[in-house]
Structures are given as structure tokens and as C-alpha cells.
Chains A and B, each alone.
Chain A
Amino acid sequence: MIGIVVATHGDFGQALLATLKAILGESEGMIAVALEASESLETFQAKLQKAVVEVDPKTEGTLVLVDMLGGTPFNVGLKMAQAAPDKVAVVTGVNLPMLITAASHRGAGDLSDLAQEVQVATRGAVVTSVELFNQ
């Protein structure tokens, strides 16, 4: 099964996983990694690498969900994805619908399919009351 790492500035990822657990119940192969304010790039990179190994012991691939394009979790994740594109894929803008999609669809296709599926589903999950009432 594809592993999932939620990598964020601060404890946002941890909180998302706790919320996910409340919705879907316990799920395996998911870890949150927090970037602390005073932490160096190297220690964060080591933490992220360790997390990827931990959620994906059979190296079937890991989806790294990061909070923001251009942030350090993204930058470090992108470096790992570049080094091993078939083992690591990064998706930006993590939120609850994204995490739910990733967690419930990771049994099916391969890593790049999952990344694309997560992107499409999450985009579709952003709506406004304004457009809903105008339909």
C-alpha cells in the first residue's frame, strides 16, 4: 500500500491526522512531520526521509502531502521526488478532503495516478455558498 506523509509548518499535519482518524478511524502507514521554526533544513530533511521509509517499508511509493507551494516542506519533498520520482510524489495544499481522498484511494492505482486523483478531487471539493445558491 502507498504510504502517506503529511509534511507541514508546525503541528497542522498532526492535527489533520487526528481529525482524519475521527472520520475514517485508525489507518496505517500515515505519519505527520512538523517543520519547527528553529529547525535546520538538514534535520527536517532527515525527519521526512525517516517518515517516508516508515510509512512505506516495502517501497511501493509514498505520497507526501505538503501545506504550501514554495514552503520548506514542499522544497524538501520536491528534492526527494526528483531523486526518486517513482517512489515519492508531492501534492501541495493539504486539507481534510485531500487527506480523505488520499487515505481512501491509495489501494488502487500507482503513485502518480493517486497524486493526480488527489489533485482533481481536492480541487472539486472547494466550493462557495455564492456559487451554490446561484446554480
Chain B
Amino acid sequence: MDIQLVRIDDRLIHGQVVVGWVKALDIQSLVVVNDTIAKDAMQKTLMEMAVPSGLKVKFSSVEEGPSLVKGGDALRTLVLFANPADVLRFVQGGGSVPSVNVGGMHFSEGKRQVGKTVCVNGEDVRAFQALKGLGTTLEVRAVPGDMKEPLEKLLPELKG
């Protein structure tokens, strides 16, 4: 697959993705890497309905993600993860992620807000630290028109 963007977005397929990123990057295929959705036929069907016609959607567990992404078609692809811990497992499992777009991490119990659309808990921070250690660039943008902002600016503890 021709990976154009790897994005963390807990809403996975939604407006910012199907309208914003798909158009800006001329995306032909979406890959959702998420254990819960990969085994939930109903959720998969709902997500397929939410995608404009002409756009392909694939689903994968985190474990099977690296092999799915390596092989297959040559379509321009956007890979979606719900959280940084899944991205870390994907990289540890052999997936290549030179840079990850931190898109939507919305507020929930136990998280603190560090950016307009970035809320994190301890597990998120540890996963980001590990990803950084493995050489992954972490950039924050909700929509394509946003300026790339290094995640380190929002999370100073990632520095050093």
C-alpha cells in the first residue's frame, strides 16, 4: 500500500477524515487498525456505510496490521488508529511508521487536555515516549489546513 498518512483519531472514520484528509491527500483507500472493530461485523458495516462511494475501506487487528499494510494494492492509503498504544504495538509488530499525525484524541474520564483536540492519559504519554524512542515523528494537526505542530510542544515530558 502507498501510505500517505498514519493518523491517530479516536473517532476513526468521520467528517474530518472523509471530507478533509481524503480530499487533501487524494486518498483512495482507508485502513482502520483496531482490535475491537476488526471483530465486530456490525461496526464494520456501519463504517462502510459512512464512507463516500469510490473510497475503499479495510479493517485489521493491530496484530495483523503490519502484514496487511505491507502487501496488497498500490492505492493511496490513510491508516487510522484509535490511540497511540495501538500504533506502538503496530510498530513493535513490524509496521513502519516514520511519522504519525496526532489528530483527534478526545476528552474522557482520566484524561487531561493538552491541545485543542488532544487529551491524554498516562498510557498515551508512555506510548508516545516509546514511539519517539523508536524514531517516529509525532505531529499534531486536526485538519489538513492546520500547521504541523510537534507533539513535544504540547507534551514537554516527551523532550529529552
Q: Is B76 an interface residue (CB 8 A)?
A: no
Interface size on A, residues (CB 8 A): 18
> Residue B56 at the A interface, CB < 8 A?
no
Q: Are B10 and A69 within 8 A (Cβ)?
A: no
Q: What chain A residues lie within 8 Å of B15 (beta carbons)?
A: 9, 68, 70-72
Chain B nearest CB, measured from A33 CB (Å): 15
B75 at interface, CB cutoff 8 A:
no
Query: Known contacts A38-B113, A68-B15, A70-B18; is A78 also within 8 Å of B106 by CB?
Result: no
Interface of B is mostly: loop
- Decide if B52 touches A41 in the complex (CB within 8 Å): no
The residue in B15, B18, B46, B47 that gathers the most chain A C-beta atoms within 10 A of its C-beta is: B15
Q: Is the CB of B19 within 8 A of A40?
A: no
- B residues within 8 A CB of A38? 106-107, 113, 116-117, 119
Instruction: Show the binding face of B for A, using Cβ within 8 Å.
Output: 10-11, 13-15, 17-19, 42, 46-47, 49-52, 106-108, 113, 116-117, 119, 142
Q: What is A's interface to B at a CB cutoff of 8 Å?
A: 9, 37-43, 68-72, 74-75, 78-79, 82
Known: A37-B116, A75-B50. 10 other contacts (CB 8 A): A40-B108, A41-B10, A42-B108, A43-B107, A68-B19, A70-B19, A74-B50, A78-B49, A78-B50, A82-B46
